[in-house]
Amino acid sequence: MSIADQGVSNQTKSIRVDLGERSYPITIGSGQISHADIGQYVQGKKALVVSNETIAPLYLQSVLAQLKDKQVDQVILKDGEQYKNLDNLNLILTQLIEQQHDRKTTLIALGGGVVGDMTGFAAASYQRGVPFIQIPTTLLAQVDSSVGGKTAVNHALGKNMIGAFYQPQAVIIDTDTLATLPDREFCAGMAEVIKYGLISDYDFFQWLEANVETLMQRDPDALGYAIEHSCLNKAKVVSADETEQGVRAILNLGHTFGHAIETFQQYTGLLHGEAVAVGMLMAADLSLLSGALSASDVGRIKDLIAAFCLPVEPPSEMQADDFMALMVRDKKVLDGQLRLVLLESIGTAVVTADFSLQGLEKILTKACHR
């Protein structure tokens, strides 16, 4: 299936996340930071842009240029997953209080998933909730973290352990920002794109297999299609289950393993998307053990992950016991029972506690002793 066959083009697209009074648009296109009319989502006289020291020099001025009639304050955070914590959240809240932002203020997240998750949580908690806008600048944030209202900071003992479900007013995706994204970060974002193919969209999985080269070249049409398709998949799941009472948990394929890796490395080792890639393969291995996937299915998944230059093995310093110790703290644990997202086929996921613990230990031991 080529992109032309699918009738894809790089025009501006709009997707609605359907959540009743909390519904909002996702706008996807080239030049959105300069042309999307960000001001329409800023109702009061003040706004606070949160970004980081890498992204602000690249894109902050374009955002500010659109908000000349507002008082816009800024918080520029240090760059890195290790700064996604309560101390840095406090910098945002302190700025809001010091600059006397009231309940009509709007927070604007300009950056990747770290900035987006932290800004969203600041918006959820400041004066019990103020509006916020997501302007995601990484592939991962454009296809996943900016959509759906999961906001959080990490704790030394566990990833995203402190947070809230809190939806933005709008998600503005400027695909041009991907031009400055380092290759490793681009590939990390592809892990979450592959995830949608695995959990709910076999046709998309096949399309990804057929378009690795074009995507790796960052062809604008191919990327636009992958971003739009990912957002459509995510919006559908989020609209069905905003606060993860059920089906939304499939979006966490590979995350229980991946979060264990990130926490073990204290958020300074594998990138989130890389850890998820390793975790998705572990979930596929366990699904093979239970007979749901074939060895050839797992081979295809591994090949696609590797084709996007993503890791397929856990960090060499981790043992099976390290995984088990951290996985029991996962947010999907209910009444002390670990639940995992497993695959019934490529394109169908299930959230289940119905797997053998010995099987889990077996695949972890195999992955860690190579």
What's the number of CA atoms in the CB half-sphere (13 Å) around residue 65?
9
Among ligand NAD, ligand GLY, none, residue 252 binds (CB under 5-8 Å by kind): ligand GLY
Supply 273's token pair.
């998307």
Binding mask 325-344 for ligand NAD (x = CB under 6 A): --------------------
Q: Is 119 in the site for ligand NAD (CB under 6 A)?
A: no
Q: Which residues contact 105 (CB under 8 A, 6 or more apart)?
A: 44, 46, 47, 48, 96, 126, 130, 131
Among ligand GLY, ligand NAD, none, residue 258 binds (CB under 5-8 Å by kind): none
Which residues are paired to 291 by β-bridges? none
Instruction: Give the span between the Cα atoms of 105 and 365, in whole angstroms.
Output: 51
Question: Which of 117, 144, 185, 274 is close enough to bind ligand GLY by CB under 6 A?
Answer: 144
Is 103 labeled as catalytic in the residue annotation?
no
Specify the pairing of strand 170-174 against strand 24-29: parallel
Distance (Å) of CA 76 to CA 50, 79, 152, 228, 356: 6, 9, 18, 29, 46
Instruction: Give the span between the Cα atoms of 224 and 7, in whole angstroms.
Output: 12
CB of 1 to ligand NAD, least distance (A): 27
Question: Which of 106, 134, 177, 233 is close enough to bind ligand NAD by CB under 6 A?
Answer: 177
Specify the pairing of strand 106-111 against strand 71-77: unpaired
The interface with ligand NAD within residues 269-298 (CB under 6 A) comprises 272-273
Question: Which of 248, 272, 331, 339 is close enough to bind ligand GLY by CB under 6 A?
Answer: 248
Q: Is 233 in the site for ligand NAD (CB under 6 A)?
A: no
Number of residues near ligand NAD (by CB under 6 A): 29
Is 252 labeled as catalytic in the residue annotation?
yes
Among ligand NAD, ligand GLY, none, residue 84 binds (CB under 5-8 Å by kind): ligand NAD
**Which residues here bind ligand GLY, judged by CB under 6 A?**
144, 148, 150, 248, 251-252
Positions annotated as catalytic residues are 128, 150, 192, 234, 244, 248, 252, 255, 259, 272
